[in-house]
Amino acid sequence: MVHYENDLPVQIEDRCVNADIAVDYLTQDYRQTTPHAYLSRIAPLTEGEHIVEAVRATAQECAWLTIKEHEPCLLIRRTTWSASRIVSHARLLFPGSRYQLQGRFIS
């Protein structure tokens, strides 16, 4: 799935979901909601993991994102759990020029 912001592609999302948890995943209208919003509603997040990498996109991914072949990209591999059950694994690819990773930590 390609996500757009102001008619510009900003993310490719490739997601595998636990069909036992997200029974109606494929029947959702993802023009009205995002996969993350739907999954958060039916299986509230209790744990998550992100693995972040700098990568080069494939030729097909470059075409989908309308970027040059050697433009750097940011890849986030996300696994989410709800009540100790894996809900989904996602591969999220962003053009480096259109994404900023931000975090805030408080102790």
* CB-neighbour burial class of residue 57 (10 A; exposed 0-12, middle 13-18, buried 19+): buried
Task: Look up the CATH number of domain 2-98.
Answer: 3.40.1410.10
Looking at every residue in the chain, the average pLDDT score rounds to 94
pLDDT in tens, 43-63: 999 999 999 999 999 999 999
pLDDT in tens, 60-77: 999 999 999 999 999 999
Residues forming beta bridges with residue 50, ordered by sequence position: 78
- Convert 70-93 to b/e letters by CB count within 10 Å (16 or more is b): eeebbbbebebbbeeeebbebebb
Q: Where are the domains of the chain?
A: 2-98
Q: What pLDDT is recorded for position 100?
A: 85
Report residue 106's pLDDT band, with 50, 70 and 90 as the boundaries. Answer: confident
Residues 70 and 57: their CA atoms lie apart, in Å, by: 8
Q: How far apart are the first and last CA of the chain?
A: 36
Q: What pLDDT is recorded for position 104?
A: 87
